[in-house]
Structure 1
Amino acid sequence: MVENWWNDPNYSHGFLVPLVSFGLIWRRRTQLKRAAAGPEPWGLLFIGIGLFMLLVGQLGHEFYLKRLSLIPVLWGLTLLNWGWKLGAKVIFPFAYLALMVPLPYILYDAVAFPLRLVAASIAGWFFELFGVPVLVEGNVLHLPHIVLNVVDACSGIRSLISLLAVGVIMAYMVLPNRWVKVLVVVFVIPVAVFTNALRVVAGGILAKFYGPQALEGTVHDFTGWLVFMAAFALLGGITWLLNRLTRRKEVANES
């Protein structure tokens, strides 16, 4: 799995997920010490579930299931050693670890291709808005000066996976209301697709003035970095706005 994180740009955030999970537990260490109780035999059940997932994944040669099995085993060990009260307080940090596990390629492809079509459609709308003639055929945009193929990297899937890890932790730590937290996570999808459509538009404009080489190498990578930072800023702005609206509503209800 670490090899996947290192070699696949879609999952490079995987290095940070365990650190974030550990940080969430560490910041509540005093509460957890007070919550620690005696052994809880029910922990064996969750360890057994995790080991069963590992066995099924091994027999079916399914890496996702094998890797995911680590989480119930770890939480089961925690429950077995320190009881329900402490186990309940660390459910989220352990569940968050699921975001470090690379998706099965079947699921990845099933999500990536529709996102490519949506990103191409939105980019085509922007080109028309800017007065640039464009013909959209699936995930291919025909411009007067170049043909753009919206590949997986520009579909939003890469930003979606990374932003999901960011959005979940941002919602968990900033927002007070459970349903508002869910709303922020839901917003990750349109934010990722929208900003990556803008990346396609930026690539088309750069190619018009600087040629096809603007879609390769350092310029292409830098544009991708800017798009992700824009998506992160947009998601942060949405979280801040929802937090303010929620706080105001709570104050109004109390008064």
Structure 2
Amino acid sequence: MSPLVQVFSAIAAVLVWVVAWYFGTAQEVSSIWWRSDTFAHGLLVLPISGWLAWRNRDRLAGLSVQPSLIMVLPILAAGFGWLLGELASVASVAHAALAFVLVFSLIGVLGFRLARPLAFPILFLLFGVPIGEFLLPVMMDYTAEFTVAAVRLSGVPVYQEGLHFVIPNGRWSVVEACSGVRYLIASLMVGTLYAYLSYRSLKRRLLFVAAAIVVPVIANWLRAYMIVMLGYLSDNRIATGVDHLLYGWLFFGIVIILMFWIGGRWREDLDPVEVDRPLSMADATASRGGFARVLPLALAIAAAPLALRYVEHFELLHPETAASIPQLTVVAPWTETQASRAEFKPSFMGFREDSLRHYTDGTHVVSVYIASYANQQPGHELVQSQNTLVLPNDPHWNRLNEAQGPDSGAGRWLATRISRESMKALVWSGYWINGRLVTSDYLAKGLLVLGRLQGHPDTSVFGAVWASAEDDVKAGAALQAFHQANGRALLDQIAAAARPVQQ
């Protein structure tokens, strides 16, 4: 077998072995590529990486596969990260960890001498990780702030409320498609590839990659401003329908083309290339005992999936689930009501069971929502980007701000102010994890992983209590009154919903 065939056969074998052990996660990633416009570029990552490897085949002359056992350690570390992601039901962590398992495995099996000329094609695989949605809220906020400020500087009066704002002849909202995340991800991947192919000095490559990050963000801000001003100046005759997206992509495309055109003034790919000196015949000879050196790497790849199967087997031996959500026993004068005023409901999905009830003391109206997430599975996670009080593109409610809420006795609530036209609402919410009320997504995931590693059942619960009124003061007074009378009972209800029962 020629050395070149040996190299690409080793690459294919590693890919098959990794996908076979992490098939569920690999299938999740590929399905995201197919269904998501934001991450559709992932479909091109493997072909581009393969083409880049083949493009560098001349640099592989005189080299052969020489596995490096030291890579067992980073493979195990990446596998452990994948295991934590699976136990905590954090898909993004599991997806990223899988990519690093693949990268470290390729380096380990090929060896450092081969991995060096193939470094960029191997690392390019990381662009296949469907991650970046966590940037949505931040980039939407910045887009809204820039657009409002720019419109005001243009002499147009603006009333802003969160991501929604009103100008004299129309209402505008910054939704997910306006965040610029798609532009940023696409620009970063294409810009990095362009920098690798066009430049040889590390400084120029890094500068162009930095430009590929900054330019689409600023371009998206200008695009949003341009769309609003076109709508305003045309009295909403243009830039308010399908042409809204058309103008946006056209503007973005022009900006990116200009960026590449300017970057091309300093390209170095036409300069003569200094070919690496081939190694000696001793180095070019495949190492003896190749199977014995690959075996530890293969076992390291399989370690994390085997550990997960053991944990799942242990849980099957102790089948437990969460108890049904009990009814809240409120203290007089509070009674349950069917108040139509509490039309708000947290935007949570994937729960095992949920409950929404309303209570009144004759003066105030308070709503209580509880959702049980026992034995979380992919698509049924408690903490995920789609589970939030108010979605960024909610047509009715706007999230204004968040702050630390009162002490529940088992942790502090998260206090969130939301609004709907002339109606205001104050929401106290939190995650109940292992007997604690927490508001941090990261802490909630950490406690979940710790509990599962200790053999505890997953009985996670989300709880929220809120009041609607004409202003924040009245809403806060209603919540305070309810909390003083029924705060302990509410906490007991959440704890009872999380209490495991034997099947």
| Structure 1 unmatched runs, 5+ | 248-255
d(CA) in 1 for partners of 2:47, 2:159: 42
| Inter-CA distance 44–235: structure 2 relative to 1 (3 Å threshold) | same
Match of 1:49 among 77, 87, 112: 77
| Inter-CA distance 197–58: structure 2 relative to 1 (3 Å threshold) | same
Match of 1:184 among 208, 218, 228: 208
Counterpart mapping for 1:124-143 below 5 A: 124-128=148-152, 131-135=154-158, 137=160, 138-143=162-167
Letter in 2 for 1:215: T
Q: Which residue of 2 aligns with 1:215?
A: 240
Contact 1:118 1:193 in 2 (8 A): no
Q: Which residue of 2 aligns with 1:15?
A: 43
Q: Which residue of 1 aligns with 2:259?
A: 235
Letter in 1 for 2:240: L
Match of 2:221 among 192, 197, 209: 197
Contact 2:169 2:235 in 1 (8 A): no
d(CA) in 2 for partners of 1:52, 1:186: 31
Q: Which residue of 2 aligns with 1:84?
A: 112
Contact 1:119 1:194 in 2 (8 A): no
| Inter-CA distance 201–53: structure 2 relative to 1 (3 Å threshold) | same
Contact 1:75 1:87 in 2 (8 A): no
Bigger mean CA deviation after superposition, 151-160 or 28-37: 28-37
| Inter-CA distance 121–55: structure 2 relative to 1 (3 Å threshold) | closer
Deviation at 1:18, TM superposition (A): 1.8
Q: TM-score, normalised by structure 1?
A: 0.79
Q: Which residue of 2 aligns with 1:40?
A: 68
Counterpart mapping for 1:23-34 below 5 A: 23-34=51-62
**1:107-150: per-residue Cα shift (whole Å, max 9, x none)?**
x1xx3333223323433454456x45142635434322112212
Q: Which residue of 2 aligns with 1:158?
A: 182
d(CA) in 2 for partners of 1:241, 1:89: 26
Letter in 2 for 1:133: V
Contact 2:71 2:107 in 1 (8 A): yes
Match of 1:73 among 101, 105, 109: 101
Contact 1:146 1:204 in 2 (8 A): no
Deviation at 1:236, TM superposition (A): 1.0
Equivalent position SS for 2:111: helix
Contact 2:99 2:129 in 1 (8 A): no
Letter in 1 for 2:39: Y
**1:69-101: per-residue Cα shift (whole Å, max 9, x none)?**
333333344344432100222222222222221
Q: Which residue of 1 aligns with 2:198?
A: 174
Deviation at 1:27, TM superposition (A): 0.3
The higher-RCO structure (CA 8 Å, 6+ apart) is 1
d(CA) in 2 for partners of 1:212, 1:63: 42
d(CA) in 2 for partners of 1:11, 1:212: 32
d(CA) in 1 for partners of 2:49, 2:159: 43
| Inter-CA distance 85–136: structure 2 relative to 1 (3 Å threshold) | farther
d(CA) in 2 for partners of 1:7, 1:213: 30
**1:163-207: per-residue Cα shift (whole Å, max 9, x none)?**
111111111111222122222222233311222223223322443
- Higher-strand-fraction structure: 2
Letter in 2 for 1:222: L
d(CA) in 2 for partners of 1:241, 1:120: 34
- Higher-helix-fraction structure: 1
Contact 2:132 2:181 in 1 (8 A): no
1:118 aligns with 2:147: no
**1:197-223: per-residue Cα shift (whole Å, max 9, x none)?**
23223322443427378433x323322
Letter in 1 for 2:236: G
Contact 1:14 1:100 in 2 (8 A): yes
Q: Which has the larger radius of gyration?
A: 2
- Of all paired residues, the percent bearing the same amino acid is 27
d(CA) in 1 for partners of 2:108, 2:267: 37
| Inter-CA distance 158–33: structure 2 relative to 1 (3 Å threshold) | same
Letter in 2 for 1:100: G
Q: Which residue of 2 aligns with 1:146?
A: 170
Contact 1:140 1:150 in 2 (8 A): yes
What is the Cα-based RMSD across aligned positions, in Å?
2.8
Contact 2:71 2:108 in 1 (8 A): yes
| Inter-CA distance 220–54: structure 2 relative to 1 (3 Å threshold) | same
Q: TM-score, normalised by structure 2?
A: 0.43
Equivalent position SS for 1:9: coil
| Inter-CA distance 38–204: structure 2 relative to 1 (3 Å threshold) | closer
Deviation at 1:59, TM superposition (A): 1.6
Q: Which residue of 2 aligns with 1:226?
A: 250
**1:24-73: per-residue Cα shift (whole Å, max 9, x none)?**
11101232253224333234334333332322222222222222233333
